[in-house]
Structure 1
Amino acid sequence: MGLAEITGFVLVGEMLMLGVATTVVVGRTGLMRAREQFRDRLFEVYPHIGLLLGVLVVNKVAREFGPELSWVIGWNITSRIYAIEGNFVGTVQSVARPELTTYFSFMYIYGYVFILVFPFVAYFALVDSKPLKKAAVAFAVNYGLGLVCYILFISYGPRNLIPDVVHPLLYSTYPESQILTGQVNANTNVFPSLHTSLSVSSALLAYQIRDSYPRWTVIAIPMAASIIVATMYLGIHWATDVCAGSVLGVGSVLIANRYVSDDSRE
């Protein structure tokens, strides 16, 4: 199975998930409101969405030469991380079962994309534009600071450093997934975990609008937790990566809250 086929398969799955979630969370009233305010909402949020798109473009370009630059100016912290936590990820994998591997693999790929995309669909339909602005800014900060960290810090994941203890459960169970993840990740850029940081940010943003979308809050928080555990269970990230990602995720939301709050007062 090639990249195009895998990407198409994932897109179909995401469209189904987004369709169901939009029906359950946003509802008919929200969709009608989104249609009515479409142009006004785009005008309100285009600077924030533009910021996110700009960061994503820079991120994409930088990833082409980032690993080489990292070896020139970066600091290899792999051994230090291992000295701190040892075989903790191996302990997490000690509970591995086929059912858990299937669940966490699904969350790592499908759940992760969903928890990043759905907020932009749902928040667009809200009366208040601030949640959508906050999501765009928080994600931009995550990607921007994450890229800086990937260049400054070289870190191999546990499956690469201690393969006799930690197994690559995602790739050994679903080898075709490596074709997809290889397009956006390198073996040396696991610190911090962007899966963790973006999931944490998404969950916090969902909690902030719990009065508007209580169902989304109930979905987002457990899903974010599952994605975070999946990064370690599948042998991709260290617990240290997860802790750093959590700090980045919280910090990104705090920055977004401050930025959007200041922006709204102008």
Structure 2
Amino acid sequence: MKSYICLCFLFLIAFSTMAQNEILNLWETIPNHKHTAENEGVEIKDVKRVFLTKTPTIEVFLPSKRSLNGKAVLICPGGGYRYLAYDWEGTDVAKWLNSKGIAAFVLKSRLPLSKSLITPHEAPLQDAQRAIRLLRANADKWHINPNKIGVIGFSAGGHLASTLGTQFDAPNSFKEQSMDTISARPDFVALIYPVITMQDDFTHKGSQTNLLGSNPDDALKARFSNELQVTKDTPPTFLVHAGDDMVVPVENSLKLYNALKINGIKTEMHIYPYGSHGFGLAIGQGYLESWTNRFYDWLMEF
């Protein structure tokens, strides 16, 4: 009997180990970094929040090989550039994407409040660029199409995703490795109640302060106001926002939509009358929950 119990226990341990998702460090040598005694923090209440990311990573979520359709999505959780809502706008979304046959990768990017950063506002984009490059470099391993890799971002994660979509070719300020020569342009961008502008009229003040500092100059605000950074090379974009969002005004999405339209970028936008801010997958929230269906329908065109 004891040997049977031990065998079952060992089986459970083995199964648990097999069930763990692969987590990959983005960098061998982290750029824009200095050593401090600062530690990464995790708070688990209604949502798992990650603070002061020390080592940026991607967590890999793959559907079964039979379900894979070749598409992949990098997920950027929100949190006002103060923390990452890692499960609510990260792993939960990854599991939903897996149910649709889509490979998903949750980005744990560095956060600009960290004292371990040399130039804080550059770190999130550096990590997002590197993550896309890492996905393309490992496309064969994960059975994904390197030309069908996109990004989805929520709230401040939407700002990071839109920065990647408009500034994917931003030059590196560090010594490049071969990985850094791979294109960081996402093939499509999805932005859910995103922070887009850093201009004072409609920005989310917390995101602006956390990313750019308490008194950013006009040039820095313009650089990270992504409605001003759209070009003909910006990827096709999908936008979702609630009209009653009092945290990140809907004008953020409206401004970006207008800029995308002017530049001839294929764009789809859904403005729901309710939902406020931070609704995630909107499970149980009436027809707001249908935004994921709209996104999936749009995504199937790529």
Q: After TM superposition, is the score higher than 0.5?
A: no
> Could you say which structure has the higher helix fraction?
1
**TM-score, length basis structure 1:** 0.31
> Could you say which structure has the higher strand fraction?
2
Highest RCO, 1 vs 2 (Cα 8 Å, sep ≥ 6): 1
